[in-house]
Amino acid sequence: MVNELKVALIQSNLVWEHPEQNRINFSEKINALNDNVDLIVLPEMFTSGFTMNAESVAETMDGVSLHWLQDLAVQNTTAITGSLVIKEQDKYYNRLVFVHPDGQIDCYDKRHTFTLANEHKTYTAGTKTLVVNYKGWTIKPLICYDLRFPVWARNIEDYDLLLYVANWPKIRIDAWDALLKSRAIENMSYCIGVNRVGLDGNAYEYSGHSGAYDVLGNRLDTIPSGTACTEVVTLQKAHISKYREKLGFLNDRDTFTLE
């Protein structure tokens, strides 16, 4: 177990429906990291942008992008996470993969498909949450629109870090900022969100606003909006235990059953 977790947030533009070029771009960003980090976070659909043209960009779990991620994770002795389009048994998924430094992979399929963009008509929604155990840290990764549904994120597992990868457009970015901070406060956990920047193939604009918050909702990063950049934040186990023991808010949480 490590008491500190160094996390690299990569806020980047994405080349529309061009997995090969996106892999090249992210390889450069990852290999340029000066710090030895424990976890690298990429945006939602980092190989393609948020496209409903799933057939043109979909890969399998034995595809090029997964092997590329595994190679990068092993070479850099770090975990890497983000989501991409996966085809499995004739269905398409917006699937988050958490690739460990030894190449092992944990998966989460986006539960709340974005109906406003008809994502539900292309992608099959997931039914299960994922909790990743990594270096003594308990991490719950979710995807974009999931942020609007606090019950799905509720900290019933005593996780340490709630993690969102996203393509969240500029027009609704105030909601992104407010909800990321709220999820940290109500769950007494670190909360990190990594969003993209730039224009996508549908001319939607993305302004980033990637961020990291502590258990009290304090902002930990200095990531500027609107520009591609990478920042490393350091999370501390002592911070979590101090305020959970002092305040005890999670002791009063409700019990419930999800359907």
Is residue 258 assigned to a domain? no
* H/E run at residue 239: helix 237-247
Contact call for residues 48 and 18 (beta carbons, < 8 A): yes
Residue 231 annotated in active site: no
Kindly provide the b/e burial profile for residues 74-87, where b requires at least 16 CB atoms within 10 angstroms of the residue's own CB: eebebbbbbbbbbb
pLDDT at position 258 is 84
Which domain CATH number covers 197? 3.60.110.10
Is residue 168 assigned to a domain? yes
pLDDT at position 35 is 82
pLDDT in tens, the chain (259 residues): 689 999 999 999 999 999 999 999 999 999 999 889 999 999 999 999 999 999 999 999 999 999 999 999 999 999 999 999 999 999 999 999 999 999 999 999 999 999 999 999 999 999 999 999 999 999 999 999 999 999 999 999 999 999 999 999 999 999 999 999 999 999 999 999 999 999 999 999 999 999 999 999 999 999 999 999 999 999 999 999 999 999 999 999 999 888 8
Is residue 257 assigned to a domain? no
DSSP state of 24: H
DSSP letter string over 49-99? Answer: -S-S-HHHH-B-TTSHHHHHHHHHHHHHTSEEEEEEEEEETTEEEEEEEEE
Residue 161 pairs in a beta bridge with 139, 190
pLDDT at position 1 is 65
Is residue 259 assigned to a domain? no
Torsion of CA 216, 217, 221, 226, to 10 degrees: 180
Instruction: Spot the catalytic one: 59, 110, 140, 229.
Output: 110
Is residue 238 assigned to a domain? yes
Is residue 46 assigned to a domain? yes
| Cβ neighbours around 118 below 10 Å, total | 11
Q: Give dist(CA 192, CA 235) in Å, integer.
A: 10
Instruction: Spot the catalytic one: 44, 59, 119, 186.
Output: 44
Contact call for residues 211 and 177 (beta carbons, < 8 A): yes
Is residue 32 assigned to a domain? yes
Residue 135 annotated in active site: no
Give me the number of domains the chain comprises. 1
Q: How far is CA 48 from the centre of its chain?
A: 15
Is residue 45 assigned to a domain? yes
> How many distinct helices (H) and strands (E) make up the chain?
7, 13
Residue 144 annotated in active site: yes
pLDDT at position 39 is 98
User: For residue 165, what are its two tokens?
Assistant: 């990868």
Contacts of residue 60, defined as CB under 8 A and 6 or more positions apart, other chains included, come to 66, 86, 87, 88
Contact call for residues 184 and 153 (beta carbons, < 8 A): no
Per the structure, the complete domain to which residue 74 belongs is given by 4-252
pLDDT at position 219 is 98
- Taking only Cα atoms into account, the Rg of the chain, rounded to an integer number of angstroms, comes to 17
Instruction: Spot the catalytic one: 144, 186, 191, 229.
Output: 144
pLDDT at position 259 is 80
CB-count exposure of residue 228 (10 Å: 0-12, 13-18, 19+):
middle
